[in-house]
Amino acid sequence: MGGAVSAGEDNDDLIDNLKEAYYIRTDLVERAFRAIDRADYYLDEYRDNAYKDLAWRHGNIHLSAPCIYSEVMEALELHPGLSFLNLGSGTGYLSTMVGLILGPFGVNHGIELHADVIEYAYQKLDSFIKTSDSFDKFEFCEPSFVVGNCLEIPPESRHYDRVYCGAGVQKEHEEYMKNLLKVGGILVMPLEEKLTKIIRTGPSSWETKKIISVSFAPLVLPKHSPKSKPKTAPLRKSHFRFAEIVLLFVNVPRIITHTKTTQHLRLIKSSHIKLGIILEEEEEEEKETGELLRPQPAVNVLRERILGLPLPEPLKMYLLYYREK
């Protein structure tokens, strides 16, 4: 699927072509596309094809055509602070672009069927965070990916403001997908060979709009033996609290972690001498049975982590005071 616009010489040239063909229509979406070089999500030997308006697949790794991602990003009507779920998150290219718009108060989850693709996605995410000049220009909502089948999300999981499915949805699963949304939320998915936008207007009401004709591989159905208990996809229940302090003449290195502890602090330094502290409640660990293990709440974890930061004592006390307020 693709071929709607001319190939570009580089990422910016490709974006120019998508704008000219009216696939990219808003400044917010344009900024996200320009910030992330599509070629960075290709294997090195295939980078020459990155700026063509074509889908790409190698083994389990897959990228949709740029014109498709453009339509998806525009249809989602993203803005800061939303919660987003990417079903079939793949390389993480789309989730990373979405994270540039959601900002530090957003939620950015992805579920992917293949463990090797999750590993690939985290490699690309690490590379973007550590090496991209664009990273410091945005308040980023870092995506989190889990392995699982998107048709096995437990019914008690959270609902989302925005949901995208990157595989063809069979008609019998339409209601399942729609019920992942909050009221007022937007779902974009391939349905009956049409990229479809669905808005949840009430507890039991939706508005549907067909966007463009598409051809996607169908959703992979869960595989259960007659006697086995179905596993559930372990989407985490995240909550983000963000405190931002502008500091003069402070040089704090960026520390990036992907630990699986219940809670951790990440210290983020931007080029604007801005120090932010994010408390993130990590995903509930999955038992071998596929059931979710609820961790015991830690006592004063944030306080202890703040006290352990390499910061002046008055600043630590200010952070603790800010948190208590």
Give the C-alpha distances (Å, rounded to integers) separating 161 from 43, 148, 158, 164, 222: 32, 21, 10, 10, 25
Strands 107-112 and 144-147, bridge-based pairing: parallel
3-state DSSP call for residue 304?
A: helix
Q: Looking at 6, 64, 144, 238, which residue is catalytic? A: 64
Q: Answer for the pair 134, 220: CB distance below 8 angstroms, yes or no.
A: no
Q: Which residues contact 242 (CB under 8 A, 6 or more apart)?
A: 104, 105, 276, 277, 278
- Spatial separation of the C-alpha atoms in residues 103 and 111, rounded to whole Å: 20
Q: Which of 222, 226, 234, 235 is nearest to 291 (CA)?
A: 234
Catalytic residue at 64?
Answer: yes
DSSP at 292: B
Residue 165 token pair: 């499915």
Helix residue ranges per DSSP H, 43-165: 66-76, 93-102, 115-131
Q: Which residues contact 315 (CB under 8 A, 6 or more apart)?
A: 245, 247
Cβ neighbourhood burial of 43 (10 Å; 0-12, 13-18, 19+): exposed
Catalytically annotated residues: 64
